[in-house]
Amino acid sequence: MTKSTAPIPPQAAKRPHTITAHGRKRVDDYAWLRADNWRDAMRDPSLLPEPIRAHLEAENAYVDVVLADTTALQKQLFEEMRGRIKEDDSSVPARDGPFAYSSRHRQGGDYPLYVRRRFDDETGAVSGDEQVLLDGDKEGEGLAYFHLGGVDHSPDHTRLAYATDTSGSERYTLKVRDLETAEDFPETIENCAGGFVWANDSKTLFWVERDENDRPSRVRRWRLGDPTDDAEIIYEEPDPGFFVSVSKTESERFLLIDVHDHTTSELRILEADDPTGAFRLIAARRAGVEYDLSDAGDRFFIHTNTDGAVDFKVMTAPVADPAPANWAEWIEHRDGVLILGQRLFARHHVRLERVDSLPRIVIRRLSDDAEHVIDLNEEAYSLGLGEVLEFDTDVMRFGYASPTTPDQVFDYGMESRARTLLKTREVPSGHDPSCYVARRIFATSHDGASVPVTLLHHRDTALDGGAPVLLYGYGSYGITVPADFRTGRLSLVDRGMIYAVAHVRGGMAKGYRWYLDGRAENKANSFKDFVAAAETLIADGYTSRGKIVAMGGSAGGLLVGAALNMAPDLFAGVIAAVPFVDVLNTMSDAGLPLTPPEWPEWGNPIEDEAAFRRIASYSPYDNIAAAAYPPVLATAGVSDPRVTYWEPAKWAARLREHNTGGAPILLKTNLEAGHGGASGRWDSLKETALEFAFALKVAGLTG
């Protein structure tokens, strides 16, 4: 990929657009790539103006030409990755009363089928014929894009509510199916955010509606059979910086309206047996205070960071009067022991914690507060609470995986402590964990912070500085990239590449403070941590300068975009999937779907000059300078409401303009999808194959 051999790339026209804020002028030459009718185009990509569509199509054609020599490799990667997927795989059934519910894929199918079978109390097993409740392949047939949001049966098991998105814009249509006749009711609900919850009468649905700016902001109540236009607004959030969701406690006793941004929350509850009643407020929002709750008996269990509990604690409150004045500490705050979440059962409290960058599950008996930890012993692994639909049980479920160990699902006796393996992810083409090595190292960042880095490599890969590395990162919103098992990575590792994940600040790998130290005024720490991880891999002899391919998506695209500006010669290439790279412009536009809710994470550059200057100092688009940039592959989706398509389009154009080294800057736009890319599992694999082929090419491993 040199200047002499690369084809001529498309050149976006420069149409200077001057922006003035806080006494500072800047010129955006590529602002025209944002369509005036972007809202309409997001919902119907065919409405994208022709000049913009022509430019994106030219960019796609350029990608095809530059990566033409990887066509066979892409096909090989696709076949490898597909060969590791059990095409007719199914989830472990979860019992709910008389039925066990699960999902599965059919051989060759793109979308899941939701099914159930009768549960036999005498044998303790499922029995009888499978009933298909919803056939995703049938629903998505003939559609360029299809995605299922919420899918949930009614409490009496007679109906199924489900939400579908057919554009990628994340505006869902909600329907209800009669499970006896397999026919949908005639009423449909539009502009749903994808989430909903049943009241216990099995006739009333509470759902979240998107407003004109595509924000989930209103909760409506609708009784089956009534005109949908009569659906009552029972809550509307006036602050555009807060999102709204609905859910139900594990006991199914209470419905919840959750109003939240990234660091503040507020809950309202209603008895699920009283769907026409009024929701009552638990605790009014206070900036920086988060809480969620579950119930058992006459107590609420409140998971919260109130009163300075940075890594959270659990408090209890009486169901009759759960005002904050009645909260009592039950599990104390312990600095460095992050309580990630909780799940309640009739006789047990389960919490998921993270200690020393590793997760663990703690079981606590409600009758006497005795507790124990489930033992796990790998150096790096992922752990999660599994689906259990029943409340009155002594058996919980959890999922376990590591970079070398395929996903496993266990039932765990909370009293007996017996662990039953229900399923291990099958890799049809074969997988020998002993062929791979997973390890955890630590990089020292600019200020002395110790950054965890998870590595996966083949046991035969020489660790002599010659191996290329794919270094992945995210680092925002407190999201922690798990040390999990992904079969796709093996296609890189089997070819001699080391796969690494830098758990930078902005995530919560080392607790909530790790998140606070990588957001807002501390955001630069995330980028410096990522660069430090790369430099440590070099210093420790895993790889060499110029042999690292950086990869991140969405806010992870911001991470790698900022790192690219900081140290372009460090990387062999960069993969930025739907990257959030035009941060200053996006955060300065209150009309975009996610801008107000994002201000707590990044700062509000409209009203706060310090936030403006801080964001301006790292925004990848605004900090491109004349430099020899390595090859870059950016992706975009026209229907994307999270990272609008013009961000990566503008970024690619400006990178190409300022690139002095001649390495190709590539932009691949899905003209029929949104933030998640292609919806079908096989088309999605093709997108991954393209990204991995690019990584292998720039790493010199295509021979």
Instruction: Please indicate whether residue 127 is annotated as part of the active site.
Output: no
Q: What pLDDT was estimated at residue 218?
A: 96
Please tell me the distance from the alpha carbon of residue 149 to that of residue 196, in angstroms, as a whole number.
10
Mean pLDDT along residues 227-231: 92
Average pLDDT over residues 675-694: 87
Q: First and final CA of the chain: distance in angstroms?
A: 14
Which two structure tokens, joined as six digits, stand for 326? 């009645």
State both tokens at 364: 């606590």
Q: Region 272-281: what's the mean pLDDT?
A: 97
State the pLDDT at residue 127: 87
Region 120-135: mean pLDDT is: 90
Mean pLDDT of the 40-57 span? 94
User: What pLDDT band is residue 126 in, cutting at 50, 70 and 90?
Assistant: confident
pLDDT of 690 strictly over 70: yes
675 is catalytic: yes
* Predicted local confidence at residue 341, as pLDDT: 96
- The DSSP annotation for 79-124 comes to HHHHHTS-TT-BPPPEEETTEEEEEE--TT-SS-EEEEEEEETTTT
The Cα 566–Cα 628 span in angstroms is 12
Q: One-letter amino acid identity for 662?
A: G
Give me the helices (H) in 211-300, please.
none
The per-residue pLDDT of the chain, averaged, comes to 95
CA–CA separation, 398 and 361 (whole Å): 9
Q: Find the mean pLDDT for residues 564-591.
A: 97
Q: What would the pLDDT profile of 589-635 be if each residue is shown by its tens digit?
A: 999 988 999 999 999 999 999 999 999 999 999 999 999 999 999 99
Residue 539 near residue 548 (C-beta atoms within 8 A): no
pLDDT at residue 379, rounded to an integer: 85
Tokens of 678: 């292609």
- What one-character-per-residue DSSP string does 489-531 give? GHHHHTTTPEEEEE--BTB-TT-HHHHHTTSGGGTHHHHHHHH
3-state secondary structure of 178: strand
User: Which residue in the list 167, 217, 476, 554 is annotated as catalytic?
Assistant: 554
Q: Tell me phi and psi for residue 412, to 5 degrees.
A: -130, 125
Active site residue 202: no
**Active-site entry in 96, 258, 529, 640:** 640
The Cα 652–Cα 577 span in angstroms is: 12
Instruction: Give the pLDDT of residue 345.
Output: 97
Q: Report residue 677's pLDDT band, with 50, 70 and 90 as the boundaries.
A: low
Res 157: pLDDT:
98
Q: Are 418 and 75 in contact (CB under 8 A)?
A: no
Across the range 86-110, mean pLDDT stands at 95
pLDDT reported for residue 378: 84
CA dihedral 244, 248, 253, 257 (to 10 degrees): 0
Q: What is the pLDDT of residue 673?
A: 73
Confidence check: pLDDT of 2 > 90:
no
Catalytic residue among 214, 382, 675, 679: 675
User: Is residue 561 over pLDDT 50?
Assistant: yes
Half-sphere exposure of 388 (CA within 13 A, CB side): 26
pLDDT of residue 28: 98
Query: Looking at residues 497-516, what average pLDDT do you find?
Result: 97
In the predicted structure, residue 3 carries a pLDDT above the cut 50: no
Contacts of 96 (CB under 8 A, 6+ apart): 153, 157, 389, 390
| Structure-block tokens of residue 444 | 């020292």
Distance set, CA 98 to CA 118, 254, 376 (Å) = 6, 22, 34
Q: What's the mean pLDDT in 72-82?
A: 97
pLDDT of amino acid 1: 47
Look at residue 464 in the predicted model and tell me its pLDDT.
95
Over residues 218-230, the mean pLDDT reads: 94
Which of 173-182, 209-218, 246-255, 340-349 has the weakest average pLDDT? 209-218
What is the DSSP-derived secondary structure letter of residue 61? H
pLDDT for the residue numbered 7: 85
Q: Please list, residue by residue across 135-158, b when 16 or more beta carbons sit within 10 angstroms of its beta carbon and e when fewer do.
A: bbbebbeeebbbbbbbbbbbbeee
Instruction: With beta carbons less than 8 A apart as the criterion, state whether 45 and 167 touch.
Output: yes
The pLDDT score that the predictor gives to residue 6 is: 57
Dump pLDDT digits (tens) for 172-218: 999 999 999 999 999 999 999 999 999 999 999 999 999 988 899 99
**Position 4 confidence tier, pLDDT thresholds 50, 70, 90:** very low
Task: Name the pLDDT band for 681 (thresholds 50, 70, 90).
Answer: confident
